[in-house]
Structure 1
């Protein structure tokens, strides 16, 4: 498996793990509210149920965000080979690597730091459409595209 394939697989798993965590949390809250409904009555009970419902709505919203992210990530062609930076490219700029896909957390694979960045991010905007050797500046830092990993 190539470095880029490992990066994509790692991010894909990271997204799926988040989805699983949110589903588990929602399921646990649902179970708690069912159990609480059996044995309680009064204002405290209503407040507790209301708080659980609010928390469940927040978790459902987060779950939906990650499901949408997974859909977007899954629809990106990471196998596209181009001499220019495109969505789906893994780009080495200076010492760091940037997967142009969706905003994702920093990871380390084979001792290399990788950031998942959105095509709308200022960094991606500077890189998109450019080739190896392209120099640019962002927030006072100078960057050079050293390679587009295939």
Structure 2
């Protein structure tokens, strides 16, 4: 099941990267096709808006590529005895895949939260082992299994 979660995350990031690349290319084309009109201020404002949007998309693309590379560095078949990057953790509060923060994914009717170890729940559970209990968000969390 961990491999399926890994592949799901990988697919989501690949689609996100592809979509951002396409959108960025469209903005690049729009900027290069922009012709100076008789109203100079309108032209400059439109061009500036296109550049701002390009910058925003480029930042999103850079972040998506960083997450993809981080995910690709993990080995989905590796077994863990404590909560580390790449571990699938079952707690009494739900299932968590500690890799990249992509939110909830469903695999075989099981909801798994894909989160980073830098997230609050990741920081609370990092290096913990099966059977350990912690208090987090005013609830008791118990680690039931780590894969």
Same fold by TM-score greater than 0.5: yes
Q: CA deviation at 1:134?
A: 1.6
SS at match of 1:98: strand
Aligned counterparts of 1:90 and 1:119: Cα–Cα separation in 2: 12
Runs of 4+ in 1 over 3 A off after TM superposition: none
Report the counterpart of residue 37 of structure 2 in structure 1.
Answer: 40
* Structure 1 unaligned spans of 5+: none
Q: Would you say the 8 A contact 2:2–2:77 is kept in 1?
A: no
**Structure-2 residue corresponding to 1:79:** 77
Q: How do residues 92-103 of structure 1 correspond to structure 2 at under 5 angstroms?
A: 92-94=90-92, 96-103=94-101
Kindly tell me: are residues 135 and 124 of structure 1, through their superposed partners in 2, closer, same or farther at Cα, counting changes over 3 Å?
A: same
Map 1:1-150 onto structure 2 (within 5 A): 3-37=1-35, 40-41=37-38, 42-94=40-92, 96-149=94-147
**Aligned counterparts of 2:13 and 2:33: Cα–Cα separation in 1:** 31
Q: TM-score, normalised by structure 1?
A: 0.88
Decide whether aligned partners of structure 1 residues 109 and 95 sit closer, same or farther in structure 2, where only a CA change above 3 A counts.
farther
TM-score, normalised via structure 2 length? 0.89
Contact 1:96 1:112 in 2 (8 A): no
Give structure 2 stretches of 5+ with no counterpart: none
CA distance in 2 between counterparts of 1:28 and 1:101 reads: 31
